Amino acid sequence: MLTRALLADDFFRLAHSDVTGRPLLHPIALSTGLAGALLGELMVERFLDVRDGVVLLMADEDVQPQESLARSVLAVLRREDHRLPTWLEYLGQQSVGKVAARMEAAGHVRPVRSRRLLRDVVTYVPTNQLEASRPMSVLATRLYARYELEPWYGVLAGFMRATGLHTRVMSGMPTESHEFMAGLIVRSSSPGIQELFGHIESLVGAAVLMHRT
Amino acid sequence: MISASARPTRSEVSTALARGRLGVPSVVFFVIAAAAPLTVVAGGATTGYWVTGSLGIPISYLAVAAILTLFSVGYVAMSRHIVNAGAFYTYISNGLGRVFGVGSAVVALFAYLAMGVGLAGGLGAVASSFLRTRFGIATPWWACALIGLALVAILGVLRVDINGKVLAFLLVSEVVIAVVYDVVMLRHPAGGTVSLATLAPHYLWSAGIGAALVTAITGYIGFEATVVYSEETRDPRKTIARATYIAVGITGCLYGASAWAMSVATGPENIVAAAATNQTELIFNLVSPHVWPTLVDVGHVLFVTSLFAAVLAFHNTVTRYAFALGRERVLPAALGHTNPASGVPRTASIIQTVIAVVVVIAYAISGLDPLVYLFFWISVAGGLGVLILMVLTSVAVIGYFMLHPSGENVWRRSIAPTVASIALLGVLVLTVAQFHVLLGVEPDSAWRWIFPGAYLAAFAIGATWAAILRARRPQVYAAIGLGAHAATGPRAAAASSGYVKA
């Protein structure tokens, strides 16, 4: 059964090992990227737009997204008014847990609790490795071959680059692939989504500067 | 229309974000830990007395604390209005223009690199001496230095955070030990009476005071990092200001008191000779007749960990600077890349380590005394660089607020920065004029001009590069000073105009 994947779910898959489920990104990059992807889901569905750092509500109050996590995110966005970086930070506080819970409910991952370095850690192990590896393998092979990709993957590539994950995915690839990726991201993403990428990159970079990754 | 029951009385977003925010104590702690107090007390002050021969060391620490407090008024006020506030070059870009900004960035890289490498030399010398005298293990200083650098590199690349609690414990222990030693020294003054001689203000007009002042400034480097945390604090307006003044205040009192206490314990007329004979062992030799041997051992161990923490802190500073400049594309973009799993700017980190290793090896081959020629000379050369940056920043604050008053009062906008600029410029002039005293060389030695000259050259290189950028890559030029936020700057806006609507 082929249901359309959710943007944040695909970014989650991209940012975790398809075998062990361990994160490939440091915590701030992961949580900010997922927060951005949740906003991205709403932007793709035309519930939101972003302009000059401000989040603009595009749909009527009574129009709701179909998916429940998207509904709850939109609800809090409708209740309060903040700039985009604030929303990214706020949503980032719980983005990992909430997206993981959504994926667990859909049967894509299962949580495995363990103890590492004196701390309790939850790893979300994929239930279907083929599906878990799809975003990474599609992006990696098509970008390397510079083969055209649907806008969905272009936007995903944008999140990948904004969080710094591209240095891992694209390691060893020639300059032409990097240039192709840059062009693909621009072609696939609306100005609002591109601005979203910029803010994610800013926040992740700021965390590096503060040495609080 | 939103129903009344759906509107919260308090912002749940603000409440949620407030929970993770830092308060004044955390920021003070981060900054003092990076300043490594015991390194300054046991290492900086003693080598300062010895190499400069000046008795004005204690008063210099106090005078510099006063100047830095004044400087901080404008510095912190301006930090509220710019992004990427953690780097002096940002202030200079915003207040004096981007050409000056890039010139300062190159000066900053040199200065912080020098600090890190100089401290690595000190770490090597002190660790090797400790191992030899206490445990009878003979290791050359450069081996200890290289091991220290390797540890820093590993910690940096793996992004293993030295646990905050461990750092806190070490820092508090350092301060406690220093205070205990000070009390012991004051209770056993040479000649029986506690002399206030070395606290006399007239030393500020004495020969060699420039050398003493820049030695003092070197001890405070790191205080400027408080503003890096402004986005993470509960009340950015007040928290950062308070944290900065408290950090300068605590370190100022500690340094001044310790340097003075040492001169009391030896007698003011003997302190320079005693420092020359005992070098970094001075403080330990002064207290060891009067305290348990364990307390001296603990002090030695903390001295080594303090030096290590300082080397690590400057490694991180240089890495951060290079990362921000790489993000802005002022330096090659590769420096702005991080290891995605750890968030470490790995290219910058590796390059910094390689440079440090090369310098240590060069000194090892040369056979020069690492305490004088690497630890003291190079770290104080770093201090000179930071002093130049502070002068420029202080003037930039005035310049910025002239164009953008931003609601700050006239004390913060112009009076305090002006007094601070004059004072800092005075210190800079004295330092450059007396640099030969600092180095302990003859007035006609070429070395007294090589270090200041190197900074001038670095500044010129940076300024030229900025001019080239302005001509050839205006979007990059426009993003100078934005640091990590270059991603949301003008370059990003220009690049986004290729969207093809599906």
Structure tokens belonging to residue B210: 């420039």
**What are the residues whose beta carbons fall under 8 Å from the beta carbon of B273, sequence distance 6 or more?**
none
pLDDT tens per residue across span B295-344: 999 999 999 999 998 998 888 889 888 988 888 888 898 888 888 888 88
Instruction: Give me the percent of chain B exceeding a pLDDT of 70.
Output: 93
Single-letter amino acid code for the residue at A103: M
H helix intervals, B221-292: 236-266, 271-278, 282-287
State how far the Cα of B183 lies from the Cα of B300, in Å rounded to an integer.
18
3-class secondary structure, A100: helix
Would you say A159 and A135 are in contact if contact means Cβ atoms under 8 Å apart?
no
The reply to whether A90 touches chain B by the CB within 8 Å rule is yes
pTM of the model: 0.88
Question: Percentage helix, strand, coil, to 5, in chain B?
Answer: 80, 0, 20
Q: How confident is the model at residue B12 (pLDDT cuts 50, 70, 90)?
A: confident
In angstroms, the CA A103 to CA A126 distance is: 9
Give, in order, the Cα–Cα distances in Å from B98 to each of B404, B474, B492: 17, 12, 19
**pLDDT band for position A119 (50/70/90)?**
confident
What percentage of residues in chain A have a pLDDT greater than 90? Answer: 79
Q: How far does A106 lie from chain B, in Å, by closest CA? A: 27
Contact between chains at B488 and A89 (C-beta distance less than 8 A): no
Least Cα separation, residue A104 to chain B (angstroms): 23
Q: Check A167 against B324: CB less than 8 A apart.
A: no
Cα dihedral B386, B388, B389, B393 sign: positive
Q: Which residues from B are below 8 Å from A205, CB to CB?
A: 323-324, 327, 336, 483-485, 487
Axis crossing angle, helix A151-162 with helix A129-145, rounded to the nearest 10: 90
AA letter at B180: V
**Per-residue buried b or exposed e for A177-186, using 16+ beta carbons within 10 Å of the residue's own CB:** beebbeebbb
Give the H/E segment covering residue A48. strand A48-51
Q: What is the pLDDT of residues B384-436, one digit of tens each?
A: 999 999 999 999 999 999 998 888 888 989 999 999 999 999 999 999 998 88
Top pLDDT among B456 and B5 is at B456
Average pLDDT, chain B: 87
Q: Which amino acid is at A107?
A: G
User: Tell me, what DSSP letter sits at residue B373?
Assistant: I
Q: Is the pLDDT of residue B218 over 50?
A: yes
Q: Is the interface score ipTM higher than 0.90?
A: no
* Inter-chain residue contact B340 with A209, CB threshold 8 Å: no
Q: Find chain B residues with C-beta within 8 A of A24's C-beta.
A: 340-341
Nearest CA-CA distance, residue A41 and chain B, Å: 16
Amino acid at A14: L
- Cβ neighbours of B17 in A, within 8 Å: 86, 89-90, 93
**Chain Cα centroid distance, residue B232:** 21
Residue B342 to residue A212, Cβ atoms within 8 A: no
Q: Which of B354, B378, B408, B416 is nearest to B157 (CA)?
A: B354
The number of residues in chain B equals 502
CA–CA separation, A94 vs A89, rounded Å?
Answer: 10
* Residues paired with A187 in a beta bridge: none
Contact A209 B84 (CB under 8 A): yes
Which of A74 and B12 is assigned the larger pLDDT? A74
